[in-house]
Structure formats: structure tokens, C-alpha cells
Amino acid sequence: MSPARLFSARLRTVFEDVGHWALSTRAGLKPSRRLPQQASPRLLSVGCADHAKRQELPGKKPLSEKKLKRYFVDCRRVLVCGGNGGAGASCFHSEPRKEFGGPDGGDGGNGGHVILRVDQQVKSLSSVLSQYQGFSGEDGGSKNCFGRSGAVLYVQVPVGTLVKEGGRVVADLSRTGDEYIAALGGAGGKGNRFFLANDNRAPVTCTPGQPGQQRVLHLELKTVAHAGMVGFPNAGKSSLLRAISNARPAVASYPFTTLKPHVGIVHYEGHQQIAVADIPGIIRGAHQNRGLGSAFLRHIERCRFLLFVVDLSQPEPWTQVDDLKYELEMYEEGLSERPHAIIANKIDLPEARANLSQLRDHLGWEVIALSALTGENLEQLLLHLKVLHDAYVEAELGKGRQPLRW
């Protein structure tokens, strides 16, 4: 018999003996202590999978880009560090039959800058990280090879971002394409070739790269729009923005439905566009940080003209205009004196008709009465909005400045 067949026969005999021993042992046990005849491979695999899951360390899953955009962030503290410069090399030229080759150590590359760049597609500071480190330069090499400089790191920020350092404004990024160097990269070190001189023909000195600039910046977003709608909670600002533009802010019957500014675009003939911002509701004492406080009052600063939205169904609606102007004036002097229009909303309600004449008697100027729900008299608002925009454009051109284009 061949060795292979002899080995397989012996192995078969061993397995048969083990099987007979297992059967005899099973027969000797009591029924309550008997083991199952065959172990299910599926149960074994499921048990191993559960054990593997328990072995995995729980970690916080990073938010996706879609979920990250849901959160509106208008303040961010950022630590920016420029890239470090590469070190210079100290070496000498080596070549056959050339005894004194001389120094040939190259310089290190410069570190990359960190630059803030305005991107119109970015609407919030939620995508801005808390720390940025620029790319470092490569070290120098032999044969007078210089190190590669680090690439520039661009950080995309929305339009209207203020950059502050130590409470002082250092940059105002209010137009698309604006850039600001947040942190400079370090200079690259010098190789020993740089120190070659007539009195020193074999220098061994080389310098390391300089560290990049490190700064702590505070980014603050102020929404940039042509018109800003200001009003108390549940005045109908979000409904009005939905009626005149394609913006879709949340609308509900409870106050403070809008928790972040929304910008809608109103289209006119000749491809002209006017941006209208829906500012979250302001309450009495907002300048003292009550309610949503001054966190959203700063978004009104960038609006060129204002739309005071009044709830006409409330008693004495003219007091709403006085209170809103007072809050704006207490927050920033002269803010309430900007060009504006008074919009009396909810004219479709029965009690609003009686308050309209009283409102016009107290204010003494034209009031645009409309209904954002039914669309009544929206054309008058759109025409008056166009008049305010044309006056703003003419004033900017008269001062030699370029008006805001959305």
C-alpha cells in the first residue's frame, strides 16, 4: 500500500473511533444533560459576528455634508497655522576624480499660506473647522536641489464674513472672490551652498526652516442682502418671503419658527435680482440680548434698506413700528434711519381692516397693506421694492462705489 493511502486509512480510522466515543458518551448522559447532535453553523457565525461587534470601539460618526449644512453657524473661533519651512541641507559634491567638489546643499521650501476665500455657494460657517494647519515645505537635498514649497490652503467662507483678532476687525470679506491671508507660511532654511564665500570654501552650516505663523481668529458672519425684513415673531415674514421668492423657510403658528436668516431672490425684468433677507423675530429688549438677542441683530447691519413687517391683526399695530425702531437704534445708532417701507400683513383677517386706517393715521406715510397668505396686493410691494433698490444703486454710483450685485 502506498504511503498516501496508508495515511488516509489511518486518519479515517481515527475519526470513526472519535465518532463512536461521542455516541457512547451521549447515550450514557441523562436526557436533561444531553448535548445537541449537531451544532448549527449559522448560530456559530451569528455568535461570532455579535462578538466582533462588541469588540469594535464605539466612535462618534462624522456628520455628512448634507447634515452639516442644516446647522446655521454665524460665529467661529479658528486657530490657523501656516506651514513650516523645510530645512536646508548640508552636503558636498561627490564625483570621481574630483577631490574638492564643494558644497551643494540646497535650500528648503517655503511653507504654505492659509488663505480665507469668499465663496458664494457657502451660506454658513458650519463647514469651517476649528483648526487649520498649512502644508509644510520639503527639505533641501544634495546637488543643489531646492525643496518644494508647501501648497496654499484655501478656506471657503460665505459672503459677509468679518475677520477679528483680539476684538479688532482685520478684514471684511463682503464680495465674492475676496481673499485674506490668515496665516503666513514659514521661510525655508538655507543649505550650506548659500554660505559659500571666498574666505569659507567648505561651509558646513545650514539653517532649519522657520515655523509658520500662528493666529487665533474670530469669524463672524453678517448676512449680505439688499433688503432686510424686520418684525416681531409671527408677523408673517417667512410667509411673505415664500410668496415673493423661491426661498422656503419654515412656517408655523408658533413664535420663533425662524431660527436662522434666510435669503430669497426676487427676479425682475432684465435679469435684475434683489436679495431679501428674513431676519428672525425681534422682541422688546433684544438689544439687551433678550430672546434671540443681538446674535441676529447684526445681520441687519448689512441690509441696504429695511422692510418693517407689522401684524395688522394685533391691537395698536403702530406701536410695533416704534418698538422695532427703538431696538434697532439702541443696537446701532442710525440703523433705524435707513430707507425703509412699512408692510401691514394679514389684511385678509376681519379685525385687520379696522386697524389699517388707524395705522395710517398714526404713521403719516404710505403703508403697504397685503396678505402673504392669499397674495393680495403683492404687486405693490414688488414695485416699491424695485424703487428702493434703484435709489440705492443711484446713491452708490454717485459715491463712486460699485453697488451690491447678487
Q: What pLDDT does residue 294 have?
A: 59
One domain for residues 206 and 273: no
Q: What pLDDT does residue 58 have?
A: 47
| Integer Cα distance of 279 and 298 in angstroms | 10
One domain for residues 293 and 199: no
One domain for residues 241 and 378: yes
First to last CA, the chain: 93
Q: What is the mean pLDDT of residues 118-136?
A: 89
Count of domains for the chain: 2
One domain for residues 193 and 253: no
One domain for residues 278 and 391: yes
One domain for residues 198 and 259: no
Give the residue from 171, 198, 222 where a domain finishes.
Answer: 222
Residue at 335 is within a domain: yes
| Integer Cα distance of 370 and 230 in angstroms | 16
Give the residue from 195, 222, 249 where a domain finishes.
Answer: 222
Q: What pLDDT does residue 50 have?
A: 45
Residue at 57 is within a domain: no
Q: What is the mean pLDDT of residues 141-159?
A: 93
One domain for residues 205 and 325: no
| Integer Cα distance of 111 and 365 in angstroms | 61
**What is the per-residue pLDDT across 364-379, written as a single tens digit (0 to 9) for each?**
667 888 988 888 889 9
Q: For position 127, which CATH number holds?
A: 2.70.210.12
Q: Which of 38-52, 170-184, 309-323, 330-344 shows the lowest mean pLDDT across its residues? A: 38-52
Angle at 67 between CA 63 and CA 69, to 5 degrees: 115
Residue at 309 is within a domain: yes
One domain for residues 163 and 211: yes
Residue at 128 is within a domain: yes
Grid cell at residue 106: 540646497
Q: pTM of this prediction?
A: 0.63
Give residue 176's domain range: 71-222
Residue at 53 is within a domain: no
| Integer Cα distance of 190 and 107 in angstroms | 5
Grid cell at residue 201: 570654501
Give 78: exposed, middle or buried? Use CB within 10 Å, 0-12, 13-18, 19+. Answer: buried
Give the residue from 222, 257, 289 where a domain finishes.
Answer: 222
Q: For position 332, which CATH number holds?
A: 3.40.50.300
One domain for residues 268 and 185: no
